[in-house]
Amino acid sequence: MLLHFGAVDYRATVWLNDVEVARHEGGHTPFAADVTTALQGADNVLVVRVEDPLADLSLPRGKQYWKETSEGIFYTPTTGIWQTVWLEPLPARHVESLRLRPDLTGGALDFEVGGEGPIELTASLAGSVVGRWSGSAGSGRLALDEVQAWSPESPRLYELEVRIGSDVVAAYFGLRTVETRDGRFWLNGEPYVQRLVLDQGYFPGGLLTAASDRDLRRDIELAKSLGFNGARKHQKIEDPRWLYWADRLGFLVWTEMPSAHEHSPESERRLAAEWTEAVVRDRDHPSVVAWVPMNESWGLGPAEDAATARFLVQLYELTHSLDSTRPVISNDGWEQALTDLCTIHDYGPAADLARRYRTLEAALDPSGGHRPPYLTGFAYRGEPLLVSEFGGVSLGAGEGWGYSQAGDAAALLDTYRSQVEALLAPGPVQGFCYTQLTDVEQERNGLLTFDRQPKVDPALIRPVTQTPKRTHQFGAFGAADA
């Protein structure tokens, strides 16, 4: 009998019938305990003790505020059990772990199955069996009779059944490739413009916790209705059900680690440990296309400190050691070290965006009040450039704030159009992330209200979001503009 906790914020100790069965640190990642020997008949007492010291800024907390009242860009904190808890009965011989590595080029699935004894794998596509494999538990390769790629435009998924004895695990996978080269992001061997929206993952009534699976799905459907092909899930390791729907519906995801807000050796240890658990949890999702271990130098030491660069490089290399198939963004927004995407945060007006992103040199120029995109000792190496935060426009003169303001829905649409067109005009920008999907508490710069009502008709927003990327007459950036 396994007892699972989806996430408990921050530090949890679990007893069953006065026997300690689990201890876990990290507010966003799962843990489980084998409680077989601690169970006694029909009457059992389960106790979970949770510690969440709000004053400790070395905890990876993201947008959860450490003061009594939320303000600025920070929101009401969540404490305790905020994801699903469940009990899983298993036969003595069962699937203990499963790692999937889809190979689009080779038309196969590489896998690792933990357990004892013979295993059987069956892959299906649209209800038809397209591959079988049997052998001993461990690693193997399952050849596929039919090969179809996964993408936001065509989210084809293969169903997978894994069997050890009487234990059957139902899983799925998608075939797709992600690359960064020649100043572009490539999906399935083709240049691809990422049109992302910043998603804070806060919900009415539940804060970090959605009321239902339907609410998780609805956020993705709403984002797609606005024309976005993905989201940067900001400062939150989201409930796995949201990733399930991203896989099913076709939605790109940047997975981002919640930051600490005070630097120390202990904060580095905590963040690296929890980030490791997050990457291991989510690395088999086809929707996940980028890892973001750090944001805007939050929780780091001074930029000129050699320890800051050391830690960013450590996180970059740690992430690649856990998953070598996706790009890693070392410090989203600015002051990056080694990175696979050059990402810049820029809340300037459309005229400034139009001027700044016509050439690579202007985009990387830190003058004019912008923080440098790279730390001293690091420089641009040809990675794709994306403006991963911009916009933040609030509507009307009500309570709350935005980075700028539009008087009515028509003005909001015009502002959004001018900013998107400025970024996608000829130049180095290969994608964007608009701030943001929904209002959250006092932050009123969403395209949707906090209760998910559109501020502008999605039918009007969608074609703006999908504005084509323009190139110079002699070819795309990297050829004519290099």
pLDDT tens-digit map of 376-394 = 999 999 999 999 999 999 9
Listed in sequence order, the residues at least 6 apart from 38 whose beta carbon sits closer than 8 Å to its beta carbon are 16, 17, 19, 21
SS3 track for 328-381? ECCCEECCECCCCCEEEECCCCHHHHHHHCCCHHHHHCCCCCCCCCECCCCCCC
pLDDT digit string (tens) for the chain, length 482 residues: 999 999 999 999 999 999 999 999 999 999 999 999 999 988 999 999 999 998 999 999 999 999 989 999 999 999 999 999 999 999 999 999 999 999 999 999 999 999 999 999 999 999 999 999 999 989 999 999 999 999 999 999 999 999 999 999 999 999 999 999 999 999 999 999 999 999 999 999 999 999 999 999 999 999 999 999 999 999 999 999 999 999 999 999 999 999 999 999 999 999 999 999 999 999 999 999 999 999 999 999 999 999 999 999 999 999 999 999 999 999 999 999 999 999 999 999 999 999 999 999 999 998 767 899 999 999 999 999 999 999 999 998 778 999 999 999 999 999 999 999 999 999 999 999 999 999 999 999 999 999 999 999 999 999 999 999 987 543 444 433 33
Q: Which two tokens stand for residue 394?
A: 């609030």
Note every long-range contact of 298-306, with CB atoms under 8 Å and residues 24 or more positions apart, other chains counting. 298/259, 298/260, 298/261, 299/58, 299/60, 299/259, 299/260, 299/261, 299/262, 299/263, 299/267, 299/271, 300/263, 300/331, 301/263, 303/335, 303/375, 303/376, 304/376
Closest CA to 231 of 195, 203, 204: 195
For residue 347, give every residue at least 6 positions away whose Cβ sits within 8 Å of its Cβ, in sequence order, or none. 389, 390, 391, 392, 403, 404, 435
First to last CA, the chain: 59
State residue 473's pLDDT score: 42
Contact between 395 and 384 under an 8 Å Cβ cutoff? The reply is no
CB 415 within 8 A of CB 406: yes
Spatial separation of the C-alpha atoms in residues 415 and 401, rounded to whole Å: 16
pLDDT value, residue 370: 81
* Fold of the domain spanning 189-465: TIM Barrel (3.20.20)
pLDDT at 474: 35
Q: Which of 199, 285, 194 is CA-nearest to residue 247?
A: 285
Q: What is the pLDDT of residue 472?
A: 58
Query: Which residues, at least 6 apart from 459, have a Cβ–Cβ distance to it below 8 Å?
Result: none
Q: DSSP code of 211?
A: S
332-377 pLDDT per residue, tens: 999 999 999 999 999 999 999 999 999 999 999 987 678 999 999 9
Alpha helices in 255-332 (DSSP H): 265-282, 306-322
Kind of pairing between the strands at 184-187 and 178-181 = antiparallel
Query: Rounded to whole angstroms, how far apart are CA atoms 12 and 17?
Result: 16
A 10 A CB-CB count for 91 gives 9
Cβ atoms of 198 and 253 closer than 8 Å: no
- Look-up of token digits 């084998």: 34
Spell out the domain ranges in the chain. Answer: 2-88, 97-165, 189-465
Tell me how crowded residue 67 is: count the other CB atoms within 10 A of its CB.
Answer: 10
- What pLDDT shows up at residue 41? 87
Q: What is the pLDDT of residue 471?
A: 79
Instruction: State both tokens at 201.
Output: 């993952």
Full-prediction pTM beyond 0.75? Answer: yes
E strand residue ranges, 381-480: 385-391, 393-395, 404-406, 429-435
- What residues pair up with 178 in beta bridges, in sequence order? 187
Residue 309 to residue 479: CA distance in whole angstroms: 32
Sheet holding 85-88, edge to edge: 31-34, 2-5, 85-88
Sequence-ordered list of residues with C-beta below 8 angstroms from that of 354, at least 6 positions apart, any chain: 422, 425
How big is the chain, counted in residues?
482
pLDDT of residue 367: 79
Please, what is the angle between helix 213-225 and helix 240-249, to 10°?
A: 40
Cβ within 8 Å of residue 249, ≥6 positions away = 155, 217, 220, 221, 224
Close Cβ partners of 30 (under 8 Å, ≥ 6 residues apart): 4, 5, 6, 7, 83, 277, 281
Domain 2-88: give its CATH architecture: Sandwich (2.60)
Closest CA to 164 of 89, 88, 92: 92
CA 387/CA 170 separation, integer angstroms: 38
Q: Provide the β-strand partners of residue 111.
A: 100, 140
Q: How far apart are CA 342 and CA 320, in angstroms?
A: 17
- CATH value of 97-165 in 2.60.40.10, 3.30.1540.20, 3.40.50.150, 3.40.50.300: 2.60.40.10
